[in-house]
């Protein structure tokens, strides 16, 4: 029997930086390598920018400058600047900051006093400089330890705070910042803070109309009626419905924080829209029919908000103010007055809305039989044994704030499917096998999702018939061969997702699996290469006599080798819709004629393995 001694020596005390570095997930959520929009490096960036945003909200400084070069992040604001005697404390002492003074930061992004300390502790290099009252103070850290502290100096520059950091590769590995994720974050800051200018690597981000601009710039489909934009004290909403859209799309914010997982305010917003519309038309329409094809945004401000996770992505507060009105009542009363007034004053929009609801009702009833048959077919197909090799833990097994990563690999062919199935982590990685090329769904209605066996079973596997709130896998990874046929299958699958479930792409759930094109080895070492440049580098390292194997397809990679490509070092390329792209235009170019214009459009607006896009088009030519 093991003799575990429990003595005074068993009790350990970690200082602030040691605890953050030992348990980073408690402070920034998951780590990641930057391929997902909720990876830790973006949380670090957000934590620093949030402090500058709070200064702007308090009326200090109208612009923020951001630059990212070679993973070195620099943020400069022109607020009041940190009191010089407290510069060290605010970035190295837990629970230190001005946000605890509610008179100064009444409705700030957060009140935890941890953000900038976490950035400091998790950075290999961290520098902060404050300028105020004609003087400045600069301090440098490495992993939370001071490496250089300058005395207070005279400085005639503009007041404000400048922070630079490099996330620690010892913790984050070989990470990268994806420009599209950062731009989306910056646009949201501007939508919520009209009049604020953010300069990012020379590009300006600015909004005049707030949430109106958000919907206007992010809605891909044709609007049924002009955007309804309503503003009040501590609340702003924007609402519209779209043609040829099936899902609901919401953007929700609390105190400037993008609550991507929703929360009490988003739930109250969805319910309040239904109640107000029913009362206006005096009809007991189904909630799903009212909200079908809705695109909407809501931003509220709450005193001392309670979030359900450290990264503040889901609101848990039930009250707008402590011991005050509930979030539900606050939002409903606002919409009851302002949305109802808008519909009375704009009868044309009201009539269009009612026709849309009636159309959704008709489609729902017409689809009832088709859906029933599709579910029965999915049961008969024995989904979890025939098409899907499932995993044990799923993304939706827990509450949203406790969710773990789970992955669904979509493969082509029995060989590739078999190799991944034998190699995968059975706890969190599942495999869905395609039978041949999927149907080209471009221009088809959602009825095809239920009538086509492949799409019906894939939808069932993902559990997205009612939307993506109960999505079973947060990573949907398309794993196809790096050839013309493989590229075509990718395009067909992406077309399916964009056509019927665009929120999967918008919210960063769809990826392309990178697998090596070459294996270079000698008697002592094997190197897998993902492109020709890596192949040449491997030859320099192993010698010109090294054996080179060109993988023509995933089926040629043995299960023993596959474990290197879907484990901790798995390379994923996220499918990202460019900021200037419209989904209907992307689909038209995907499945239209092969033109130079189409090739350029794909490369610029859908970032999926650009080398293969070139290879695909050249081979077809």
- The pLDDT of residue 281 is 93
In the structure encoding, which two tokens stand for residue 148, read together?
């250089």
3-state secondary structure of 141: strand
* Pair of tokens at residue 103: 């008179």
List of residues 6+ apart from 254 with CB closer than 8 A: 263, 265, 299, 300, 301, 302, 305, 307, 312, 315, 317
Model pLDDT, residue 619:
37
What is the 3-state secondary structure of 163-204?
EEEEECHHHHCCCCCCHHHHHHHHHHHHHHCCCCEEEECCEE
pLDDT at 244: 78
Please give the C-alpha separations between residue 245 and each of 128, 291, 292, 305, in angstroms, as whole numbers: 47, 11, 8, 33
Query: Of the candidates 252, 300, 302, which has an alpha carbon nearest to the alpha carbon of residue 105?
Result: 302
Instruction: Please give the Cα distance from 178 to 367 (Å, whole number).
Output: 40
Q: Which tokens is 159 given?
A: 């007041």
- 536-557: b or e for each residue (b if 16 or more CB lie within 10 Å)? eebbeebeeebeeeebebbbeb
- pLDDT at residue 453, rounded to an integer: 82
Q: Which two tokens stand for residue 296?
A: 């909407």
- The answer to whether 329 and 319 are in contact (CB under 8 A) is no
What one-character DSSP code corresponds to residue 313? -
Contact call for residues 66 and 74 (beta carbons, < 8 A): yes
SS3 of residue 431 by DSSP:
strand
Residues 586/576, Cβ–Cβ less than 8 Å: no
Q: Minimal CA–CA distance to 202: which of 298, 111, 67?
A: 67
Q: Is 88 helix (H, G, I), strand (E, B) or coil?
A: helix
258 strand-pairing partners: 253
Is residue 304 exposed (0-12), middle (13-18) or buried (19+ Cβ within 10 Å)?
middle
CA 607 – CA 610 distance, rounded (Å): 7
- What pLDDT score does 614 carry? 40
DSSP element (H, E) containing 213: helix 211-218
Residues recorded for the chain: 621
Helix axes 610-620, 484-500, angle to 10 degrees: 110
Tokens of 230: 């309503």
At 206, list the tokens: 């600015």
Cβ-in-10-Å burial (0-12, 13-18, 19+) of 445 comes to: middle
Q: Please, what CATH class does the domain formed by 381-515+553-620 belong to?
A: alpha beta
Which own/partner contact pairs does 88-92 have at CB distance under 8 Å and 24+ positions apart?
A: 88/139, 88/146, 88/149, 90/116, 91/116, 91/117, 91/119, 91/120, 91/126, 91/128, 91/139, 91/141, 92/16, 92/17, 92/117, 92/120, 92/141, 92/144, 92/146
Question: Residue 570, Cβ neighbours under 10 Å: how many?
Answer: 18
Give the bridge partners for 240, in sequence order: 295
Its sign, for the CA torsion 367, 370, 372, 378, is negative
Pick 211-364's CATH classification: 3.60.130.10, 3.30.230.10, 3.40.50.2300, 3.40.50.720: 3.30.230.10
Q: Is 122 left (phi over 0), alpha (psi -120 to 50) or beta?
A: alpha
Cα–Cα distance for residue pair 149/128, rounded to 1 Å: 10
Both structure tokens of 400: 């949203």
- Contact by Cβ (8 Å): 219, 297: no
Asked if 287 and 299 touch (Cβ cutoff 8 Å), the reply is no
Convert 460-492 to b/e letters by CB count within 10 Å (16 or more is b).
bbbbbeebbeebbbbbbbbbbbbeeebbbbbbb
Q: Which two tokens stand for residue 108?
A: 């700030």
- Cα-Cα-Cα-Cα torsion 232, 238, 240, 245, nearest 10 degrees, comes to -150
Q: Contact at 8 Å (CB) between 132 and 81?
A: yes
Q: How many Cβ atoms sit within 10 Å of the Cβ of residue 229?
A: 19
The C-alpha atoms of residue 501 and residue 274 are separated, in whole angstroms, by: 22
CA distance 387 to 435: 9
CATH topology of domain 16-205: Heat Shock Protein 90 (3.30.565)
Mean pLDDT of successive 10-residue segments in the chain (621 residues)? 56 68 80 85 92 87 93 94 88 62 51 73 93 92 91 90 93 90 93 94 94 89 91 91 84 83 82 93 91 90 65 56 74 92 94 92 80 66 66 76 80 79 89 85 80 85 83 90 78 87 87 87 88 88 88 78 80 77 65 57 48 38 38
Pairing state of beta strands 72-77 and 123-132? unpaired
């Amino acid at each position: 029997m093991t003799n575990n001694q429990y003595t005074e020596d068993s009790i350990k005390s970690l200082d602030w930086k040691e605890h953050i570095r030992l348990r980073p997930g408690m402070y920034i959520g998951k780590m990641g390598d930057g391929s997902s929009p909720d990876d830790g490096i973006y949380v670090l960036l957000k934590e620093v920018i949030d402090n500058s945003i709070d200064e702007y909200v308090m009326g200090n400084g109208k612009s923020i400058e951001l630059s990212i070069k070679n993973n070195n992040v620099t943020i400069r604001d022109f607020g009041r600047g940190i009191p010089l005697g407290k510069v060290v404390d605010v970035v190295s002492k837990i629970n230190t900051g001005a946000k605890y003074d509610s008179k100064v930061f009444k409705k700030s992004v957060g009140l935890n006093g941890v953000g900038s300390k976490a950035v400091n502790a998790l950075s290999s290099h961290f520098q902060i400089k404050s300028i105020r009252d004609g003087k400045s103070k600069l301090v440098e850290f490495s992993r939370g330890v001071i490496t250089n502290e300058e005395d207070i100096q005279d400085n005639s520059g503009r007041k404000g705070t400048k922070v630079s950091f490099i996330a620690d590769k010892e913790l984050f590995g070989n990470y990268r910042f994806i420009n599209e994720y950062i731009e989306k974050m910056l646009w949201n800051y501007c939508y919520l803070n009209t009049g604020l200018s953010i300069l990012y690597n020379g590009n300006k981000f600015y909004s005049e109309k707030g949430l109106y601009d958000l919907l206007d710039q992010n809605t891909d489909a044709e609007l049924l009626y002009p955007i309804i934009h309503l503003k009040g004290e501590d609340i702003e909403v924007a609402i519209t419905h779209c043609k040829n859209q099936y899902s609901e799309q919401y953007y929700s914010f609390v105190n400037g924080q993008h609550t991507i997982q929703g929360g009490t305010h988003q739930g109250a917003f969805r319910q309040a829209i239904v109640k107000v519309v029913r009362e206006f038309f005096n009809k007991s329409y189904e909630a799903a029919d009212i909200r079908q094809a809705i695109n909407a945004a809501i931003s509220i401000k709450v005193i001392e908000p309670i979030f359900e996770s450290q990264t503040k992505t889901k609101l848990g507060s039930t009250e707008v103010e402590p011991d005050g009105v509930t979030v539900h009542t606050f939002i409903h009363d606002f919409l009851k007055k302002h949305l109802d007034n808008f519909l009375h004053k704009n009868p044309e929009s009201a009539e269009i809305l009612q026709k849309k609801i009636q159309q959704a009702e008709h489609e729902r009833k017409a689809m009832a039989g088709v859906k029933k048959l599709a579910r029965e077919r999915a049961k008969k197909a024995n989904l979890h044994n025939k098409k899907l090799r499932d995993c044990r833990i799923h993304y939706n097994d827990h509450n949203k704030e406790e969710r773990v990563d789970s992955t669904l690999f979509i493969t082509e062919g029995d060989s590739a499917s078999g190799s991944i199935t034998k190699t995968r982590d059975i706890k969190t990685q599942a495999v869905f096998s395609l039978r041949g090329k999927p149907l080209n769904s471009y221009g088809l209605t959602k009825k095809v999702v239920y009538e086509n066996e492949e799409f019906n079973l894939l939808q069932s596997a993902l559990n997205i018939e009612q939307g993506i709130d109960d999505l079973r896998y947060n990573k949907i990874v398309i794993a196809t061969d790096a050839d013309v046929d493989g590229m075509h299958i990718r395009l067909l699958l992406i077309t399916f997702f964009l056509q019927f479930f665009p929120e999967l792409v918008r919210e960063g759930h769809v990826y392309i699996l990178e697998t090596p094109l070459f294996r270079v080895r000698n008697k002592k070492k094997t190197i897998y290469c993902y492109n020709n440049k890596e192949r040449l580098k491997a030859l320099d390292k192993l010698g010109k006599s090294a054996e080179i194997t060109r993988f023509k397809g995933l089926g040629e990679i043995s299960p023993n080798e596959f474990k290197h490509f879907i484990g901790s070092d798995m390379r994923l390329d996220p499918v990202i819709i460019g900021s200037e792209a419209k989904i209907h235009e992307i689909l038209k170019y995907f499945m239209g004629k092969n033109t130079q214009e189409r090739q350029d459009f794909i490369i610029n607006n859908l970032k999926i393995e650009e080398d293969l896009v070139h290879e695909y088009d050249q081979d077809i030519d």
